[in-house]
Amino acid sequence: MNDRKAMLSTLWIFLTVNYIFCDVFSSMDPIALKELVMTGGLSGMEITQGFLLIAAISMEIPMVMILLSRVLNYRINRWTNIIVGIIMATYQILTMNVGTPPTLHYIFFSMIEVASCLIIVWNAWKWSNPEVVSNSKIKV
């Protein structure tokens, strides 16, 4: 893709879909379902309104990046993708160490999610200012 904004937005879409499907698969885990029904929590964490709000905010971040990657100007866009990509990769890595050992599907999705975040960061880091590039091609 020559359009870096479109590429970054598409990568955020890919990442968001992986987050969603990981959660869908997690909701099908019989052990987790039983624990949720019996205790109202997962891996020793109580599922409260506050917990769900934090989960909703953490899911909203990559979704808003789909839009922001398309509409922000070069400089803000580049740094926002770098910073948010690092934050989301770190967040995903940290979730691997919360509660009980992660399931195989969670490890699989987490590897894809962390790799996707790092690809976003790498692409944003390597993104050069299109105005500078186009001006350097003009010969007077």
Q: Report the candidate in 12, 13, 6, 7 with the shortest Cα–Cα distance to residue 84.
A: 12
- Strand, coil or helix: what is 98? coil
Residues 33-79: tens digit of each pLDDT: 887 888 877 777 788 899 899 999 999 999 999 999 999 999 999 99
The span from the CA of 109 to the CA of 14, in Å, is 12
The span from the CA of 95 to the CA of 102, in Å, is 9
Instruction: Note the pLDDT of residue 22.
Output: 93
The span from the CA of 95 to the CA of 98, in Å, is 5
pTM of model > 0.75: yes
Instruction: Note the pLDDT of residue 1.
Output: 44
Contacts of 109 (CB under 8 A, 6+ apart): 18, 19, 21, 22, 25
Instruction: Note the pLDDT of residue 139.
Output: 54
Residues 96-133: tens digit of each pLDDT: 887 778 899 999 999 999 999 999 999 999 999 877 65
pLDDT at 31 over 90: no
Please tell me the total number of residues recorded for the chain in this structure: 140
Instruction: Note the pLDDT of residue 65.
Output: 98
pLDDT at 135 over 90: no
Instruction: Note the pLDDT of residue 133.
Output: 56
Structural domain boundaries in the chain: 4-136
The span from the CA of 8 to the CA of 117, in Å, is 10
pLDDT at 138 over 60: no
The span from the CA of 7 to the CA of 18, in Å, is 17
Q: What is the 3-state secondary structure (H, E, C) of 102-134?
A: CCHHHHHHHHHHHHHHHHHHHHHHHCCCHHHHH
